[in-house]
Structure 1
Amino acid sequence: MSGYRAGFACLIGRPNAGKSTLTNALVGQKVAITSSKPQTTRHTIRGIRTTETGQLILVDTPGLHKPRTLLGRRLNDVVRETLLDVDVIGFCLPANQKIGPGDRFIADDLADLRRGRRRPVVAIATKADTVDKQRMAEHLVAIDQLGDWDEIVPCSAVEGTQVDTVAEVLMSHLPESPKLYPDDVLTDESDAVMIAELVREAALEGVRDELPHSLAVVVEEMVPREDRPADKPLMDVRVNVYVERSSQKAIIIGRGGSRLREVGTTARAQIEELLGQRVYLDLHVKVAKDWQHDPNQLSKLGF
């Protein structure tokens, strides 16, 4: 297809910069979990936006941050490895927060990368809906002074403002190429990974600040229920939620199991939408003591 562009883009930024929300807006469907808690994203999720002129494959990464655990160091390594394999980088800087040390840390990393191996970088001023025009103008000036960007684009993923512009700008930096995925594919993540992420998102809602970093979810089993009518299938999904301490287990379960039931109800509805069929979700909460610092447990939990 002459003139058609296809390739990979990576959205990076400090934790809670709006990367996952923007990924979902660009794809047009939820492929990455979102939360007000920092460090929500643990895995790189590929979302795919296909148009008549190009195909943008989005790699959503954990937020780059100063690591305090072995898990934190591994998450930073994931980001840096990803940056070496993409065609264009989108650096997300939320408009409702001033440029800070975390942004300068990433900008320095990007400057080093561009010296070693040229990669176009588009600075994206996210969360434009949260500030007035004066604040946005100041934010755009601060972004311009932060580094040498190929382009700067403000947008609001929540309201959909300038999302198409972000897509067009990122696509303009992709190489000419035929489509890399069929039109109807929106992500290449497995159902098991997506289910684990949906359960973790539901579990993160309304919990204390320390818990998000201590939460890991593993899908142990997905089995179609036997002896079901062909027009009414049921999928049995068994999921383990891991925390680091017994006190955290009590938070997730809640009094009389009320909190865990809420998590199950919220997650099951989204899992059924994902799979297109009814689901029996069997949730269990387990303690894996200090798993963020233990190489063996990290590997067991998929990190």
Structure 2
Amino acid sequence: MSRITKSLIGSFKPQPFKFMELPLTAIEGDPNQPRKAFGHGPDGDYDRLLKSILHYGIEDPIKVSEIADGRFLIMDGHRRFSCAKRLSLEKVPCRVYPKMSEGEFEARRYEMQNNRKSWKPMEKANAIYKIKSEYKDATQKEIANLLGMSAIHLSHFIGLREMRVEYLELMSDLNMKEYQRIAFMQMLAKLRKIKQYEIDDIVKILFHKISDNVLGSVTDFKVLAKIFVNASLYEDEILSFLSQPLMTANDLHQKSRLSGFSNHIKILIGEISTKKNQGIKLTEKEFQLMKELSVLVDSYVQNAEYFSTNI
């Protein structure tokens, strides 16, 4: 380490600080804050933080530096400060540092905001399980509101904790992101046996595809779930997907679209069955169309049987 580097690092020492409740009017946001994405958009977690502060108050004090007598600049906590203003709080808990040079201010802020580690999916799942166990009489919606998440999101974490250990270990080995694990779990419930492939065989194949970066996006898992729901229609296409290591979910989607005629027939059968079972009479126009369809189907099926027996 060079003498200059030693000197620079040596100039930083723990700064004395004190905890104070400061009025919002004494605190300023920093327009030069490097991080601009504070989660205000539709996919952000600003609303979750707002609900948390409403329920619990500000648990983590806002970090500020004194810039003048009775004036403080935010180092870390712009979202908490914004929520406090929105909730019309008069005072907020702060960790107050003395005035410092601009270079030290930026270096300390970087460390504050950089040295954070997100929860792992299973850590979240285990914490939610413990909370749910403590509040046995509470509904899932009440627990979700308490934690600032949707009931659907909560159920995903509960399901994740109940997933088989070997699946969880594979997810960890592959460093799957939280959104991937949730999407995978949603898809898992839709899987069906396909000829010689049991569900466990299919899961292992999917993990191989994830490992080889052939599979992995939320869209991929949604496509698979949708196709497996209609597995009887797309069995040949799914077999190709399972037997070809480099075949993607999009490739499977394109192949299954070519079999869309089968899906149309299935939908029509379902609609006709519903009318019949519920005793709904056909209109005159529907009756005529059904007659035409019946004649066409009889003719087509007879020809198909003829060709199949003479090939």
TM class by smaller structure: under 0.3
TM-score with structure 1 length normalisation? 0.23
- Tell me the TM-score normalised to structure 2 length: 0.22
Q: Which has the higher contact order (CA 8 A, sep 6+)?
A: 1
Higher helix share: 2
Would you tell me which structure has more strand in proportion to its own residues?
Answer: 1
